[in-house]
Amino acid sequence: MNDLSGKHVVLGLSGGIACYKAAEFCRGLTKAGATVQVVMTESATRFITVATMQALSGRPVYTDQWDERQPNHMPHINLGREADAVVVAPASADFMARLAQGRADDLLSLLCLARPIERVPLLLAPAMNREMWAHPATQRNVAQLQADGAVVLGVGAGDQACGETGDGRMLEPEELLYEVQRHFQPKPLQGRHLLVSAGPTFEAIDPVRGLTNLSSGKMGFAIARAAHEAGAEVTLVAGPVGLPTPRGVRRIDVKSALEMQAAVQAAVPQADVFVSAAAVADWRPASAADQKIKKDGSGAVPTLAFVENPDILAGVAASERARNGALYCVGFAAESHDLLAHAQAKRERKGVPLLVGNIGPDTFGRDDNALLLVDAQGSTELPRADKLSLARQLVGEIARRL
């Protein structure tokens, strides 16, 4: 996706071994559609070459405040005026300390200080040893930078170049890219809490077999990401899927419909919106065998008895918080035919204000989808697109209806 199409990012590199990650981050920015202007401190050039960053960005790299390529000899003014955002990755402890004090003794710090603060955001990706990150001076500087309007993206935890382990690592390139993409998304759900269910459920027949469906969970995970981008706190209750957790999202893994029901009910009291995107099995075996059911060669087929699973969405929609308007419920319907008629009937049966329909065989496991939004006023089609784009449209519709 060209999420950053038309955006111009100044990518600043201060000194640190994490400069090697900046190369992949730069590449990710350009692939997402952004133009990237790299500015490096002298220390950064000790860790990665100007030639590397120039090749990846496709633009000349700036390192010197006295660079004569600018006609007015003011790159610290010109580069900041041209930017939609300034991202410093890595941001060393020393660089953040100088920013917190308002010092401006090299091109990158000059540029950060001289940028039009009201329209050019500053995003900082700290990178340092765990003791440096935990030091009161660093934490004091981080707090000051945040108070001054900078966005400090936080750090990762794990092995460090010094051989120690802990907090202080720079975020990975894909995490940084997400944070930049998220920054440019509108925030209509700021202050809201969304609860999303996603994926299939698995109802055990015996220890190695079960009843499930073809849902991949991709649509629900995309909704969780889009809601977080839109400023919401997000809790994701996920059935058994092999998808990475969207950054910033709290994930609860479950397997069966009963487990999903318990997790959803526990999270509902904190939620403002419940999006029931999971494909919950309608039935489960009345009892699961303790051991694998074996063939004996006779051709006899075991008899299975089923019981109906609880209707998670209908139960939440009937709750007091939903009835008094404190909780907005959104349902999903995966159908094989007659989508509009089935979606309208399901919306009324479940008692929800908004029902999202799709044709299951056309979307299960795929990266794209087409949605039909059904409410009391009628229906609206969202044409086929990648699932994240559709999720963002759906989140916008939810925010508007709230």
**Tokens 């790159």, residue located:** 75
Mean pLDDT for the stretch of residues 114-131: 96
| 202, 254 contact by CB (below 8 A) | no
| 241, 198 contact by CB (below 8 A) | yes
pLDDT tens, position by position, 326-347: 999 999 998 888 888 999 999 9
List the chain domain ranges. 8-184, 193-401
Mean pLDDT for the stretch of residues 76-99: 95
Residues 6 or more apart in contact with residue 87 via CB below 8 angstroms: 9, 10, 11, 12, 123, 124, 125, 176, 180
The predicted pLDDT at position 3 comes to 87
Distances (CA, A) of 6 to 10, 85, 395: 13, 12, 23
Query: Is the pLDDT at 82 greater than 90, yes or no?
Result: yes
pTM strictly above 0.85: yes
Query: Is the pLDDT at 268 greater than 90, yes or no?
Result: yes
Mean pLDDT for the stretch of residues 36-57: 97
Identical fold for domains 8-184 and 193-401, yes or no, is yes
Please report, rounded to a whole number, the percentage of residues in the chain having pLDDT higher than 70.
100
For residue 39, give the 3-state DSSP assignment.
strand
Render 221-287 in DSSP notation, one character per residue. Answer: HHHHHHHHHTT-EEEEEE-S---PPPTT-EEEE--SHHHHHHHHHHHGGG-SEEEE--B--SEEESS
Query: Is the pLDDT at 362 greater than 90, yes or no?
Result: no
The predicted pLDDT at position 42 comes to 96
Residue range 193-401, CATH number: 3.40.50.10300
Class of domain 8-184: alpha beta
pLDDT band with cut points at 50, 70 and 90 for residue 1: low
The predicted pLDDT at position 337 comes to 87
Tokens of 85: 């955002």
Query: Is the pLDDT at 297 greater than 90, yes or no?
Result: no
Query: Is the pLDDT at 375 greater than 90, yes or no?
Result: yes
Mean pLDDT for the stretch of residues 267-279: 97
Query: Is the pLDDT at 298 greater than 90, yes or no?
Result: no
The predicted pLDDT at position 69 comes to 85
The helices-and-strands tally (H runs, E runs) of the chain is 14, 19
Query: Is the pLDDT at 2 greater than 90, yes or no?
Result: no
List active site positions.
162
Mean pLDDT, rounded, of the chain: 94
Render 361-389 in DSSP notation, one character per residue. Answer: GGTTT-SEEEEEEEETTEEEEEEEEEHHH
Please report, rounded to a whole number, the percentage of residues in the chain having pLDDT higher than 90.
85
pLDDT band with cut points at 50, 70 and 90 for residue 148: very high
